[in-house]
Amino acid sequence: MERKRLVVSYSNVTPEVLEAIRKKYPLGYNNHVIKVKTKGDDFFFAITVDTEDASYLVKVPVKVDSKGSINDDDNLDDINDEKESEEGFPDNDPSVDPED
């Protein structure tokens, strides 16, 4: 017999499913959330979990980090530029003896 495939909201899961979530994601499910597209441009976020009789797609609430800057990549370039410029100094190079 094939397992049932169900979609359920996290707020409506049974204690059995909640326990299965705790076992599968003991450190939390933050890094395991998937984006599920529905009709049109709609979507929701979910995690997967299985029990003996069903496979669940559990809808979970997601908080989007809006503190990030659009130019975050620019900040990384600045850090990389600093590292490259520091590499040119002899005292940072272990193969160069400062007394030479």
44 located within any domain? yes
Tally of CA atoms within 13 A in the half-sphere of 47 that contains its CB:
20
The pLDDT of residue 3 is: 86
The pLDDT of residue 34 is: 95
Most confident range, picked from 31-35, 74-78, 82-86: 31-35
35 located within any domain? yes
Q: Report pTM.
A: 0.61
Residue type, 7: V
Between these two residues, 97 and 20, which has the higher pLDDT value? 20
91 located within any domain? no
Contact 43, 36 (CB under 8 A): yes
The pLDDT of residue 97 is: 54
Work out how many domains the chain is built from and give that number.
Answer: 1
> Model confidence over 43-75: pLDDT tens digits?
999 999 999 999 999 999 988 777 765 555 555
Strand partners, 46: 34, 59
> Model confidence over 17-52: pLDDT tens digits?
999 999 999 999 999 999 999 999 999 999 999 999
Q: 34: Cβ–Cβ under 8 A, 6 or more apart, which residues?
A: 45, 46, 47, 48
39 located within any domain? yes
78 located within any domain? no
Start-end of H helices in 1-100: 15-24, 72-87
92 pLDDT band, cuts 50/70/90, is very low
92 located within any domain? no
Structural domain boundaries enclosing 28: 4-59
31 located within any domain? yes
| Torsion angles phi and psi, residue 12, rounded to 5 | -115, 10
69 located within any domain? no
